Structure 1
Amino acid sequence: MSKLDIRQKIQDILEKHFVKNKENEWVSVDKVNINRIDVDVVTSIDEKTDESSNFIKNNINSFNETLSKAEKIYLGFCNIYSLEEADFLGIEKPYKKSKVTASFGDIIDNNENSVKNDKRLEATRVISFYSYKGGVGRTVALVQTANLLSAKGKKVALIDMDIEAPSFNDIFSDDIQTENGLVNYLYNKLYNLEKIEVSSIVSKLSLNTKGDVYIVPAGNINKKYVKMLESLKERRISENQYIKNLINELQDKYGIEYALIDSRTGINNWGALSIGEIADEIILFAYPNKENVNGINLILDIIEDRKKCTVVFSRIDVTDEGKRKARQFFDEINIEQEFIGIEYDSAVAVATKYPLEDRLNKFKCISELILEDEVNKFNANWIRINKEKSDKILDDLEQGKYFSKILTNDESKFNNKSNYIIVKNNKIKLKDIVNEGGYKENLFEFKVYDFELMMLSNSNKPLITAITNILAIAAVNCNNYIEPQKEHNIEMDFENYFQRLDVGVKNEKDYLKSIVTNFRSILDSIEEKSNVKRIYLNININDILKYRFSKVADNIKIELVLIIIEILNLNDKFQFKLVFNEEEYEKYKDDLKSVKANMLNLSWRYLNQDVLIDNIRQIFQQISKYANGIYSNDEIVKNVIEKEKLSIYDASSKILVGSNLIYCKRIDSTKYSKEFIIWLSDKIQEKKLVSKKDVLDIIRESARIEKLNPKEGKNSIITFESFNKAIQKLTNEIKTTTVYKEF
C-alpha cells in the first residue's frame, strides 16, 4: 500500500468520526517524514480532548496492525480544536497548494500529502526523458524523437538539464552558435545579474523538415561553467519557477509545442526538478538488466500515478535470446503498459552527430506515443463540438449502414480467376461479396442435375466419362444462366452437350485434350448469346462429390474434382468456384495442398494473428471512410482549430473522421496500453466470434450501448467500455442460444 493510500485511509477514518458539518469542520493529516504524520482536527463533537486524542492514537495503532514494519505510521503533533477555539485562534482549513520540488524527497512528501503541482496553463507540453542509469541511449532517443516530431510540423525545444554531464555542445557543435546556455541563464537569474535574453541561449538545428527543433544547451563547458554550476541552488530555482518561466518564454518567442528535457541520471536534485516539477509527462529509459529495473521501479514508486509515465527499453540485444530476456525483465517493471523496445544499433552507438535520418524509424514508437495525446485531445474536442454528427454516426453504425460495402482484402480477390478454391464459414454470403464487386446479378449456384449417367463411345475410360458428364452439366448451367428467361429442356441440352464432348478418340491423353477443346467451343457458343461481362458459378464440394461417378473410387474423387475445376475455368466469361465450408476443408485439406496457390481462404478461423488484426483494421478503416465522406469537411477542421486554438496533428488532412475518432486507439488512452485492434483480435478468438459478421455485430451493438450510456469528455465516438460490454452481451447470447438448442 502506498503512503498516500495510508494517509488517506487514516484521514477518512478520522473525518467519519470528527466531521459532522464539512463547511466549518475538518481534519488534516500531513505526512512529515518517512513514517510520521501530524494531525489537526477542528470539530464540534462533545468530547474531551484526551478522549479525542486517544481515539486518534488507537485507530492509528489498529491500522498499523495491518501494515508491514516499513509501512507503519507514527503520530507526531496532534492538535484538536473546538469550533470556537479555531475561530479565536484564526485557524483555517489548510489549502494544499503546490510546494517546492527541488529533490526526490520533495516529490515523495508532496505526493504523500496529496499535494499536486499547479496545473500548467501553457500550450507547450513538457516531456522529460529520464534514465536511472547512464549509457542507455536516452539522449539519442530524445534527439531522434525531436526530429520525427519536427517532420510532422511540430516546433520542438530540446533542453539539456543533464548539466553535470552535458552533451548538447558536442553533438550539436555545428549548430550551436552561442557561448551561453541553461546554466548561465539560471545563474544570472539567481544572483540578479544582467538579464540573459532567451535568444542568446537558443540555437536552431539545420533540418529539412516541416517543423523546427531549437536547442537549449547547458552552456560552454569550462572552469567558469563549473564554478557557476556549484553556485546553483536547486530549491531557489524551484521556488522561483525559473525553468518553467524559461519554457514559457520559449513558447512565446518561438511557438514551441513540445519541450523535451534531457534529464540528469539517477537520484539527484536536477533529476527531481526535471521530472517532478517541470514535466507533464515522463519517458523512462532503461537497459534490460536488474539494476535498471530496480532503479526504474523506484522512480515509478516515487512518482506514483501523479504523471503519465512510459517505460522504454533501449539498446536491446538483437538476438532472439536478447529480445526474450528484454521482455522477461520488462515484466518486472511495476507499470501497466505494453512493451516498447529499441534494439541496439552499432551505427547509432558510434555516431558523433545527430540526428541520424536513416535510423529514425527505430524511434517512431516514441514520437507516435507523444502525438497520441494531441490526437486524443483533438478527437475529444471534435466530438464535443460536433455532437449531432457524432450521434448520427452512432445511429448509422447501430443500423449497420454501409456494412454491406465493407470488403476485406481477401474478399476483394474473389473475382480473381486464379482463386477457384474458396474456403468460407456459414456466416459468409458470397453473393454479398460479389455484389460489392460490381457484378450484382451474376453469381449463381452450380446445380448438379441427377441425370442418368451417359457413357462415352469409348466406355473403357471411367475417369474421362465422369469428367465429360460434369462438363456437360456445367454447360447446361451456363446456358440456363445466360438465357434465364427462356424455357430449357435441360435433359435434352445435357445429352446434346455430352454428344458434342464425346469425340471417339481412343488414345486417353488425346481424348481428354479433345474434350477440353470441345468444352471451350461449347462455352464460346453460349457466351455469344449474352453481353454480360462475367458470370460466377459456385460449386458446393459436397454436391459434386455426391454425383454418381461410375467406377470411380472414393479416395480419388477429390483429385478428379480438382481436374474438373481446372478445365471449367479455361474460359474468359464463366468463373467456376469450388466452395468448401470450414468442416469440409478440415476433412480434405491434405488433398488440397496441390492447389494451395489457387485457394482463397475467407474463413478467419485459419488466419494467423497478424492477418486477423489486419482484417479487423481494414473493417474499421472502411467504416471511417464512409463516415468521413458524409460528415466531414474542411470547414469543420477550421472550426475546431479556431475555437480551440489547437495544434492539430495532420490537421490539413481531409480525413477528419479517422479510425481513431470512431474507435479508441488504445484500451486506456491515459497510458501506453494495448492497442484496441489487438485487444479485439484476442477477444474475438477467446469468445469464438471469429468472423467479419461477428466484428460488424460487435460494432453495431457497441454503438447501441454507447447511445444508451453517453460519456462526457470521451476521445472516440465509441468507447472501449462499450466495445467490452458488447462482446460480453453477444457472448452471453451465443451461450443462451446453445443451451436452448441443446434443451
Structure 2
Amino acid sequence: MEGKIVTFYSYKGGVGRSMALANIAVLMKRWGYNVLILDWDLEAPGLENFFKDYISLEEFQQKEGIVDLLLKYTENSPIDWHDIVQNIPFESNQKGRLDMITAGLRHEEYFANVRKFDFNSFYTEHEGGAYIETLREQWKSNYDFVLVDSRTGVTDIGGVCTVQLPDIVVLLFTATEQSLQGILRVGKKINASLKKLPVERYHISILPIPSRFENLTEFKIGQEWLERFSKDLLPLVEDWLPEEYGTPIRFKALIEFFKIPYIPYFSFGEKLPVIEQGTNDTTGIGYAYENLSLLLANDLQDTELLFTNRDILFTKVNKIRNNIYKTVQYDVFIARKSQDAHLAKNLYDFLTNKGLKVFDADHSLPEMGNVDYSRAIDEALVNTEHLIVMGSSVENITSPWVEAEWRFFLNRKRSGQAKGNLLTVVTNTLKIDELPPSLQNYEVFSMNIRNFDTIYLFVSPQLSDYLRKNQIFLSDREKELLKLISHGLTSNEIATEMNLSKYTIEEYRMMLMKKFKAKNSTHLVKLAYEHEVL
C-alpha cells in the first residue's frame, strides 16, 4: 500500500510543531511502521536534537540533507536521496524503521547555501516541480509515513511542504488571534493552490490542532477559545469529518481530544514525552500525541472511535498488534447486544450450515481459548467481509459497543476499505424508520426464517457476486436520490431537498454509480430506467 506524506506546519513559531512531529514519529515506529522524517525547516535546522539520546548529533549534522539535495540538483550534480538517509536506532530490536533526512550538512556555508537556493528558478528553469514529484513518489513507495517539518510563515518552502508534497497537512496553532488567523488563511489557500501544480493533485486533507493549550487554571477562557475554534475551523475539515460531528458543538468535543496541552516541564529542551511520560494519562501530552497518531495512521477515518472504542483504532493501525494473532477471515460478523443472543443463534446456525465462516461472540470466542476477548473481537471486525446488525430494540442496536462495531464497518465501507454488505435484521416489533438513518440506507430484514435465504444471497461469496452482477437493490433513500438526479438537480439542490449535507449526497451518488457501474449521471439515469428502478 502506498505511504502517506504528512506535513506539520505552523504560521508562528513556538507552538510545538517539531515536538509533535518527533513524538508522533516515535509512536508510529513503535507500532511497526516505516517512518521517514524530513527536516524542511531549512532556516532553523535541528530536528535531530529530539533524538540526541539515540544518535550522535555530530555525525548526523555532518551529512548532507534537504538543502544539499535541492541545490545539487540545480547544479546538475544530483545526489541520490538514499545516500543521505540516516537511521535513528530507536527500539531497533522491534519492527518498523525510523529514518531521517536532516536539513543539510551543518558547515560554515550552510546558511549561505540556504540563501543561495532560489525556489523560483528551481521551478521555472530546472523543472523542479517534476523533481519534487519524483522524490514524493519514491518516498511514498519506500515508507509507510513521511513526516515533514515545514518552516513557519508564508514562504516558498512552506508552499512546497503544504501543497505539492503532502496528503495531509497538520496545522498547529496557539490560542492567539495572529496564530489562528494565520492558519485559517493558509488552510483556505492549500487546496486552492493545487490548480497551480505541475501535476494533478485533487485534494489535501487538513487537520488543525490547538497546541500549548492551557485550560485547567483558566477554564472559562479556555472554553471560550474552544468554541471559537469549533466555529472558525469547521470549513477546513468538512471533507473528512464524520457527518455526526459536523456542527460546532460536536466538533468542539472532538477538538478536546485533538488539543495538545501545555505542560511547563516539556517546554524546556527537546523532549519525547511519549517515552518519558508515556501515553496512559488522559490529561498528559503523551496521550494527546497518541490520539493524533491514531488519526493520522488511520488516514483521518473512524474519528468517532476516539470516543467510543480506541482499541479498535489501535487494532487497525498498530501493525505489531495486528500480527499478534493468526488472522482469521470471516464471511460475516454479527453485531448485537448480549440480550439478543437468542435472535442471533438461528441465523448463525443457518449461515454456518451453508458453509460460511461467521463470527458471533457467544460461539466464536470460546473456540479461541485463552485470548484477550476484546482484542479478538476487534481483529474479527477488521477481517470480515460482511456485517449483520441484529436487534430487538433501537436501544440495543445503538448501545455503545454495538453501534461502535457497525459504525466502524460502515466507515470502512464508505472509504472503500470494506467491499461487503451491511445488513440489519430486526424483530417485527421494530419499525425501519425507527432505526438510525445510517442503517436505513442499507438492506433491512425482519427476523423471520423465511428471509434467511435472501440474507444468504447478500453474504454468500458466490451468490453475492452473482447478485451484484445481475440485480440491483436500492434503499428508499437511494431511490429518492436517484429520482432527484433524474430530474436534473445538482448535489447542492438535492442536499437542500433531502436535508442532508452536500458531502453525504456526493457519497450516495458515488455508491449509486458503483452499483450501476455508470460512467456519469446521464448514464446512471439511463441504467436505472433499464433496471426498472425509476
Give the TM-score normalised by the residue count of structure 1.
Answer: 0.38
Match of 1:365?
291
Match of 1:46?
none
Match of 1:256?
143
> Are residues 691 and 219 of structure 1, via their aligned partners in 2, closer, same or farther at CA, if it must alter by over 3 Å?
farther
The residue matched to 2:161 in structure 1 has which SS? helix
Structure 1 position 190 matched with structure 2 position 56 = no
2:266 to 331, 339, 348: 348
1:702 to 434, 437, 442: 442
Deviation (angstroms), 1:217: 0.8
Match of 2:180?
293
Using the alignment, how far apart are the partners of 1:160 and 1:613 within structure 2?
48
Deviation (angstroms), 1:328: 2.4
Match of 1:149?
28
Match of 2:168?
281
> Are residues 230 and 722 of structure 1, via their aligned partners in 2, closer, same or farther at CA, if it must alter by over 3 Å?
closer
Using the alignment, how far apart are the partners of 1:616 and 1:375 within structure 2?
19
2:402 to 613, 618, 621: 618
What are the superposed Cα offsets for residues 574-602 of structure 1, whole Å, 9 maximum, x if unpaired?
xxxxxxxxxxxxxxxxxxxxxxxxxxxx9
Contact residue 313 and residue 326 of structure 1 kept, 8 A: no
Q: Which amino acid aligns with 1:240?
A: G
> Are residues 695 and 616 of structure 1, via their aligned partners in 2, closer, same or farther at CA, if it must alter by over 3 Å?
farther
Using the alignment, how far apart are the partners of 2:398 and 2:21 within structure 1?
31
What are the superposed Cα offsets for residues 500-538 of structure 1, whole Å, 9 maximum, x if unpaired?
xxxxxxxxxxxxxxxxxxxxxxxxxxxxxxxxxxxxxxx
Match of 1:230?
115
What is the 5 A alignment of 1:602-613? none
Match of 1:246?
135
Unpaired segments ≥5 residues, structure 1 = 1-121, 380-388, 412-431, 438-601, 606-611, 625-658, 671-688, 712-718, 726-743
Using the alignment, how far apart are the partners of 1:720 and 1:690 within structure 2?
26
> Are residues 696 and 248 of structure 1, via their aligned partners in 2, closer, same or farther at CA, if it must alter by over 3 Å?
closer
> Are residues 613 and 235 of structure 1, via their aligned partners in 2, closer, same or farther at CA, if it must alter by over 3 Å?
farther
What are the superposed Cα offsets for residues 602-635 of structure 1, whole Å, 9 maximum, x if unpaired?
9999xxxxxx9982333553xx6xxxxxxxxxxx
What are the superposed Cα offsets for residues 654-708 of structure 1, whole Å, 9 maximum, x if unpaired?
xxxxx62x31269x869xxxxxxxxxxxxxxxxxx99999558973663249941
Aligned-pair identity (%)? 20
Contact residue 664 and residue 720 of structure 1 kept, 8 A: no
Structure 1 position 127 matched with structure 2 position 27 = no
Unpaired segments ≥5 residues, structure 2 = 193-202, 242-250, 280-285, 303-315, 317-328, 346-391, 417-428, 446-471, 482-502, 510-534
Using the alignment, how far apart are the partners of 2:224 and 2:473 within structure 1?
45
Match of 1:321?
220
Match of 1:332?
232
1:137 to 16, 20, 27: 16
Contact residue 27 and residue 274 of structure 2 kept, 8 A: no
Using the alignment, how far apart are the partners of 1:724 and 1:309 within structure 2?
23
> Are residues 354 and 221 of structure 1, via their aligned partners in 2, closer, same or farther at CA, if it must alter by over 3 Å?
farther
Contact residue 16 and residue 212 of structure 2 kept, 8 A: yes
The residue matched to 2:153 in structure 1 has which SS? coil
The residue matched to 2:38 in structure 1 has which SS? strand
Structure 1 position 303 matched with structure 2 position 229 = no
> Are residues 243 and 615 of structure 1, via their aligned partners in 2, closer, same or farther at CA, if it must alter by over 3 Å?
same
Using the alignment, how far apart are the partners of 2:114 and 2:506 within structure 1?
54
2:41 to 130, 145, 162: 162
Using the alignment, how far apart are the partners of 2:508 and 2:135 within structure 1?
45
Deviation (angstroms), 1:132: 0.8
What are the superposed Cα offsets for residues 293-350 of structure 1, whole Å, 9 maximum, x if unpaired?
2111211221246422121111111322353033123122342453331211234322
> Are residues 206 and 354 of structure 1, via their aligned partners in 2, closer, same or farther at CA, if it must alter by over 3 Å?
farther
Deviation (angstroms), 1:227: 1.3
Using the alignment, how far apart are the partners of 1:613 and 1:142 within structure 2?
39
Deviation (angstroms), 1:181: 1.4
Deviation (angstroms), 1:134: 0.9
What are the superposed Cα offsets for residues 101-152 of structure 1, whole Å, 9 maximum, x if unpaired?
xxxxxxxxxxxxxxxxxxxxx9332221111111111111111222222233
Q: Which amino acid aligns with 1:318?
A: N
Q: Which amino acid aligns with 2:337?
A: L
The residue matched to 2:232 in structure 1 has which SS? coil
> Are residues 123 and 724 of structure 1, via their aligned partners in 2, closer, same or farther at CA, if it must alter by over 3 Å?
closer
Q: Which amino acid aligns with 1:309?
A: I
Deviation (angstroms), 1:351: 4.2
User: What is the aligned length?
Assistant: 326
The residue matched to 1:150 in structure 2 has which SS? helix
> Are residues 304 and 246 of structure 1, via their aligned partners in 2, closer, same or farther at CA, if it must alter by over 3 Å?
closer
The residue matched to 1:663 in structure 2 has which SS? helix
Using the alignment, how far apart are the partners of 2:20 and 2:432 within structure 1?
40
Contact residue 432 and residue 440 of structure 2 kept, 8 A: no
What is the 5 A alignment of 1:378-389? none
Using the alignment, how far apart are the partners of 1:276 and 1:723 within structure 2?
25
What is the 5 A alignment of 1:579-590? none
Contact residue 603 and residue 691 of structure 1 kept, 8 A: no
**Which one has a bigger Cα radius of gyration?**
1
> Are residues 720 and 613 of structure 1, via their aligned partners in 2, closer, same or farther at CA, if it must alter by over 3 Å?
farther
Q: Which amino acid aligns with 2:70?
A: L
Using the alignment, how far apart are the partners of 1:146 and 1:279 within structure 2?
16
What are the superposed Cα offsets for residues 254-276 of structure 1, whole Å, 9 maximum, x if unpaired?
x2122111011011111111112
Using the alignment, how far apart are the partners of 1:364 and 1:707 within structure 2?
41
> Are residues 234 and 217 of structure 1, via their aligned partners in 2, closer, same or farther at CA, if it must alter by over 3 Å?
same
The residue matched to 2:109 in structure 1 has which SS? helix
